[in-house]
Amino acid sequence: MQTKRTIFHNRWLPYLLLAPQLAITVIFFLWPAAQAVRQSFLREDAFGLKTEFVGLGNYLRLFSDPSYLNAFQVTAVFAVSVAALSMGLALLLAVAVDRVLRANQSYTTLLVWPYAVAPAVAGVLWWFLFNPTIGILPYALEQLGYDWNHNLDGTDAMILVVIAASWKQISYNFLFFVAGLQAIPQSLREAAAIDGAGPVERFFTVVFPLLSPTTFFLLVINVTYTMFETFAVIDAATEGGPSQATNILVYKVYRDGFVSLNLGSSAAQSVILMFIVIALTFVQFRWIERRVQY
Amino acid sequence: MARIDLDSVRKIYPGGVEAVKGVDLPIEDGGFVVLVGPSGCGKSTLLRMIAGLETISDGEIRIGGRRVNDAEPADRDIAMVFQNYALYPHMSVRQNLSYGLRNRRMARDEIARRVEETARILEIDAFLDRRPKALSGGQRQRVAMGRAIVREPAAFLFDEPLSNLDAKLRVQMRGEIKQLQRRLGTTSVYVTHDQLEAMTLADTLVVLNGGRIEQAGRPLDLYRHPDTTFVASFLGSPAMNLLSARVSGGDLRVGSLPLAARLPVPDGPVTAGLRPEAFRLLPDSTSGAFRLDYVEELGSTRLLHGHLEGQRLVCQMGIEHPLADRMTLDLDPEALHVFDAERGRRLDTAWQRAQIRSLA
Ligand SMILES: Nc1ncnc2c1ncn2[C@@H]1O[C@H](COP(=O)(O)OP(=O)(O)OP(=O)(O)O)[C@@H](O)[C@H]1O
Ligand SMILES: [Mg+2]
């Protein structure tokens, strides 16, 4: 692609124009990141009076700490469940809507509505639905013989946060899936129909493979989202409990750092998280660039 | 192989558009039928109804004598070649060819045999393991053909399969499709809006207009004896000249110029049709009724554009004929087609048929 090139005659003007953006990056990202890296090599006592350099001590302690390894496992379960649930449901909805859209184009604008409404309503909605005292779902489950209590039961708590976190993602995933499905030419499905593939077979042998760039993109986005942006969901719903059953990595950084004031360990954890983000971003760019549409 | 019959087939799209308004068409076993007509006349709709990709609003379609109105596309034993080829982009050429066979649970060695055979016929063996993306337009076109052939279906359906190719390749593929169809003897229905493609490929040419069959028959019959001004102007390039004329007492005049006498046609306004290559112009600088405007050189022939009694007229002649600003028409009355001025229906059918018989 040809981009428009501007020639600056003043040597300093380009730097001046870049300065605000650079300043924001440095102040809000690079500097705190550097602080975290520095902090992660130090150990401070609880009163902040004494600081000593411990090298990789904080990291080594983390990896022999059962509660940290547990957080890793919880995060993995959480991320995979949220990605699977939110993407699965979104794909199901998208396939249904795609059929309607192919018959009638005028519905397209309506699709943006759930995206505008969903996040705002989601919090309140799930809080009401699952509230053990006034919620309808615990009541319904009780009728079915299941004693729902996410305050005591780790699995219930995990299910709750997975649903709450997925809910927000569904509309986002849904839009991408609809766009992806719409981009698949109708004639391919027709060719497959003539080639003797039933609707289900058609979906798995033609539609889904062609959707794989979208699916992969969403997978990375969703995993990133569950790992880093579900802090509020966890904090509001379970606070990482009961007994650490929903204590994901990001939440543990916060608990250890700001509640337990174990700053060295917290910093080491955030540095590890930072590397995970970098890795995910790298994967995203490398793979998506290479595996774009056919 | 099978015959295909359409009995008063109609298509009304949701929303009320009547795209096909009652079409009767018997297609012989092994026949090559070309549906041709202007954009929006319902060619694709008709083809897609045969394929089972559109529901049939009314009437009946039979393939090999079996009513298929409610059969799934897969159960109609047809193969279709799409305008955009519709190759599966995530599959290799080999997988594209074998997909339909695998879905039908054919034995593996039989699939391999058929794919090899098809690839050999179409000369695509060299890139069986490539993805469609890595092929040229012409090669993709071949693969699309291969995907139809490999199934050995009762009928091939083509929807403008050559319209994405450049002019030269189109002529070449046109020839190959014709040869292939002869060789395989598979009943084929072919949709195009290119009249030349239609003329050259068809055993039976069907001209559609506004969802109805305007005329059907052998290409040359349609060319020589168009039933309507629509068919007359649609087939042939350059198109037939259509002049407003008047008949009185059997004499046909364009303006004040008499063109033919003793026509068995009632008096009144008519449309006179003249193929550009069916008459000659002779230089006559004093009384010539044709005023030459400009000349287009085509190499072996040239097109003379001009006016006759204020109406545009095109003549195609060899380059050896002399030119002048004013010329007279040298016209064989048999080359004249006379149509009803209002409805465009042919008026002189009986007369012309009699002429032909007397010549034979
Ligand atoms: N899905 C549809 N819904 C409503 N109307 C349709 C639909 N598909 C086609 N039509 C209408 O039916 C008529 C015939 O369409 P069709 O596609 O058969 O034309 P065509 O002869 O193949 O034209 P072209 O040469 O442009 O491909 C057109 O007026 C078109 O607008
Ligand atoms: Mg069409």
| Predicted confidence pLDDT, tens digits, chain B (360 residues) | 789 999 999 999 988 899 999 999 999 999 999 999 999 999 999 999 999 999 999 999 999 999 999 999 999 999 999 999 999 999 999 999 999 999 999 999 999 999 999 999 888 989 999 999 999 988 999 999 999 999 999 999 999 999 888 888 899 999 999 999 999 999 999 999 999 999 999 999 999 999 999 999 999 999 999 999 999 999 988 999 999 999 998 889 998 898 888 888 888 999 999 999 999 999 988 888 999 999 999 999 999 999 999 999 999 999 999 999 999 998 887 888 999 998 899 987 655 555 555 544
Write out the H or E segment, with its range, that includes residue B149. Answer: helix B137-149
Sheet holding B326-331, edge to edge: B279-283, B326-331, B290-297, B301-308, B311-318
Domain segments of chain B as ranges: 4-229, 238-353
What's the CA-to-centroid distance between A286 and ligand 1, angstroms?
Answer: 43
**Residue B15, ligand 1, Cβ within 6 A:** yes
**Minimal Cα–Cα distance from A194 to chain B, Å?**
5
- List CB contacts (< 8 A) between B86 and chain A: 185, 187-188, 190-191
Backbone φ and ψ for B149, nearest 5 degrees, come out as -65, -40
Tell me how far apart the alpha carbons of residues A156 and A135 are, in angstroms, rounded to a whole number: 14
The residue among B48, B77, B82 with the most chain A CBs within 10 A of its CB, best to mutate, is B82
Residues A69 and A101 in one domain: yes
Question: Is 70 exceeded by the pLDDT of residue A122?
Answer: no
Residue A234: inside a domain: yes
What tens digit of pLDDT does each residue of A189-238 get? 999 999 998 889 999 999 999 998 889 889 888 888 888 777 777 777 77
Please report the pLDDT score of residue A109 as a whole number: 58
Residue A226: inside a domain: yes
DSSP letter (8 states) at residue B53: S
The per-residue DSSP string of chain A comes to --------SSSSHHHHHHHHHHHHHIIIIIHHHHHHHHHHTEEE-TTS--EEE-TTHHHHHHHT-HHHHHHHHHHHHHHHHHHHHHHHHHHHHHHHHHHHHHH-GGGGGGGHHHHHHHHHHHHHHHHHHH-TTT-HHHHHHHHTT----TTT-HHHHHHHHHHHHHHHHHHHHHHHHHHHHHTS-HHHHHHHHHTT--HHHHIIIIIHHHTHHHHHHHHHHHHHHHHHS-HHHHHHHTTT-STTTT--HHHHHHIIIIIS--HHHHHHHHHHHHHHHHHHHHHHHHHHHHT---
Q: Would an 8 Å CB–CB cutoff place A195 in contact with chain B? A: yes
Residue A237: inside a domain: yes
Residue A76: inside a domain: yes
Question: Is 70 exceeded by the pLDDT of residue A41?
Answer: yes
**Residue B103, ligand 1, Cβ within 6 A:** no
DSSP letter (8 states) at residue B73: G
Residues A63 and A29 in one domain: no
Minimum-distance ligand 1 atom for the alpha carbon of B47: 18
**Around A218, how many Cα atoms within 13 Å sit in the side-chain half-sphere?**
27
Residues A109 and A18 in one domain: no
Helix (H, G, I), strand (E, B) or coil at B180: helix
**Residue B48, ligand 1, Cβ within 6 A:** no
B334, B352 Cβ separation under 8 angstroms? yes
A221: domain CATH number is: 1.10.3720.10
The residues with which B271 forms a beta bridge, in sequence order, are B244, B339
> Looking at the 3D structure of chain A, how many domains does it have?
2
Cβ contacts of B13 within 8 Å, gap of 6 or more? B19
Residues A111 and A176 in one domain: yes
Closest-CA residue of chain B to A201: B103
Helix (H, G, I), strand (E, B) or coil at B21: strand
**Minimal Cα–Cα distance from A197 to chain B, Å?**
6
Residues A133 and A267 in one domain: yes
pTM value is 0.80
Please report the pLDDT score of residue A11 as a whole number: 82
Residues A90 and A27 in one domain: no
Residues A153 and A200 in one domain: yes
Residues A85 and A121 in one domain: yes
Tell me how far apart the alpha carbons of residues B290 and B328 are, in angstroms, rounded to a whole number: 6
Structural domain for A248, as ranges? 59-293
B187, B18 Cβ separation under 8 angstroms? no
Residues A102 and A246 in one domain: yes
Residue A8: inside a domain: no
The residue among A194, A205, A290 with the most chain B CBs within 10 A of its CB, best to mutate, is A194
Tell me how far apart the alpha carbons of residues B318 and B303 are, in angstroms, rounded to a whole number: 9
Pick from B117, B122, B115: nearest CA to B95: B115
- List CB contacts (< 8 A) between B74 and chain A: 193-198
Residues A162 and A257 in one domain: yes
Residues A76 and A140 in one domain: yes
Tell me how far apart the alpha carbons of residues B249 and B257 are, in angstroms, rounded to a whole number: 15
ipTM reported for the complex, 2 dp? 0.84
DSSP letter (8 states) at residue B259: E
Which sign, positive or negative, has the C-alpha torsion A210, A212, A215, A216? Answer: negative
Closest-CA residue of chain A to B73: A194
Specify the fold of B4-229. Answer: Rossmann fold (3.40.50)
Record the tokens describing residue A285, joined without a space.
């760019």
Residues A102 and A85 in one domain: yes
Q: Would an 8 Å CB–CB cutoff place A142 in contact with chain B? A: no
What's the CA-to-centroid distance between B43 and ligand 2, angstroms?
Answer: 6
What's the CA-to-centroid distance between B212 and ligand 2, angstroms?
Answer: 15
Residue A170: inside a domain: yes
Mutate to test the pocket of ligand 1, among B34, B41, B45 (most ligand atoms within 8 A of CB): B45
What's the CA-to-centroid distance between A34 and ligand 2, angstroms?
Answer: 63
- The β-bridge relationship of strands B32-36 and B204-209 is parallel
Residue A232: inside a domain: yes
